[in-house]
């Protein structure tokens, strides 16, 4: 069953490459403390045409709903005949349906296996080039400690944790973990959408330079207000949280769209649209807007006419 379900992924997946780390995108400040979170950036190579980026990512995502060692533990339990992945197969074979919480008998077997893997630093053959023996020992040791504290092996990516369970129900509790990638204020962009404005456009050779204002959020207690400010006046952390971008379309003299794109602010806090070598001689009209945290509602479009040469 697992082989059949993962066949499309295995056919499409060519390789994974650790491209680097990002310590700024998800870091934040609480009071006088800077909380730095390190995110891994992974390149995924697929043997599929790049037709739809969202669907391409769905074919072979570099993550799962549970950590690799929990997934490997469940596969080992099924391989050893202790349980099955489906209720139908469990009924057919007369063994347990895999459950990481409700079965004391299975949990006892799994704990013994986890302790064995912690001693040997075991990891699946497919991960031997990616996970060292010491890293594996650390994972299995942490999983054993998790079971000792919580009484089950269902480790997920949060922010909810299995708290109690019975035969016919389960209870989850929310918890705050500063290692969780979505911290305080991560969803403010949805609750408090902010706008941006293109305030000026100048031409510098084959480039258009755009200045902009963006809204910032001033919080006090449970209230807030929006304050419009020029991007040049924003502190680096304020600019990063706003994530401003300029989305533009250039039309030719017949009103046909001939160039479009999205640009981020440069070191000078201005947007630069480089059209060098991309447009033929003629007259053109630029339509541009500034988006803050990808909010495009009620956008104000700024126009600008220019000619080549």
pLDDT, tens digit, for every residue of 34-85? 667 777 777 888 888 777 766 666 676 655 678 899 999 999 999 999 999 8
Higher-pLDDT residue of 4 and 71 is 71
Mean pLDDT of the 250-271 span? 95
Mean pLDDT of the chain: 87
Residue in the structure block whose two tokens are 């630093």: 121
pLDDT computed for residue 32 by the predictor: 60
pLDDT computed for residue 261 by the predictor: 94
Query: Where in 23-181 does DSSP place strands (E)?
Result: 28-30, 33-35, 39-46, 83-84, 96-97, 160-165, 170-174
Confidence of residue 230 (pLDDT cuts 50, 70, 90): very high
pTM over 0.85: no
pLDDT, tens digit, for every residue of 147-205? 999 999 999 876 788 899 988 888 988 877 776 666 667 778 888 899 999 999 999 99
- CB contact burial 223-240 (16+ within 10 A = b; e otherwise): eeeeeeeebeebeeeebe
pLDDT computed for residue 248 by the predictor: 96
292 token code pair:
């803050």
Q: Delimit the CATH 2.60.40.1220 region(s) of the chain.
A: 188-308
CATH node for 188-308: 2.60.40.1220
Give the separation between CA 189 and CA 294, rounded to whole angstroms. 9
């Amino acid at each position: 069953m697992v082989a059949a379900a993962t066949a499309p992924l295995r056919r499409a997946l060519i390789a994974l490459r650790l491209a680097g780390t990002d310590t700024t995108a998800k870091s934040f400040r609480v009071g006088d403390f800077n909380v730095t979170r390190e995110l891994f950036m992974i390149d995924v190579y697929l043997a599929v045409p790049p037709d739809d980026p969202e669907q391409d990512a769905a074919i072979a995502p570099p993550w799962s709903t549970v950590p690799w060692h929990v997934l490997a533990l469940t596969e080992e339990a099924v391989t050893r005949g202790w349980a099955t992945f489906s209720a139908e197969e469990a009924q057919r074979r007369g063994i347990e349906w895999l459950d990481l919480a409700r079965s004391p008998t299975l949990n006892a077997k799994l704990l013994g296996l986890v302790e064995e893997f912690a001693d040997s630093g075991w990891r699946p053959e497919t991960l031997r080039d990616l996970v060292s023996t010491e890293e594996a020992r650390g994972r299995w040791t942490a999983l054993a400690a998790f079971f000792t504290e919580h009484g089950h092996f269902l480790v997920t990516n949060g922010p909810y944790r299995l708290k109690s369970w019975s035969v016919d129900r389960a209870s989850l509790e929310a918890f705050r973990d500063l290692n969780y990638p979505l911290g305080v204020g991560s969803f403010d962009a949805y609750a408090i959408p902010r706008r941006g404005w293109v305030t000026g456009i100048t031409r510098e050779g084959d480039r258009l330079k755009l200045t902009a204002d963006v809204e910032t959020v001033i919080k006090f207690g449970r209230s807030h207000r929006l304050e419009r400010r020029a991007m040049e006046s924003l502190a680096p952390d304020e600019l990063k949280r706003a994530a401003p971008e300029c989305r533009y379309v250039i039309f030719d003299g017949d009103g046909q769209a001939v160039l479009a794109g999205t640009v981020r602010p440069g070191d000078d806090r201005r947007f630069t649209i480089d059209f060098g070598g991309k447009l033929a001689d003629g007259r053109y009209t630029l339509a541009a807007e500034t988006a803050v945290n990808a909010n495009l509602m009620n956008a104000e479009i700024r126009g600008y006419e220019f000619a080549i040469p």
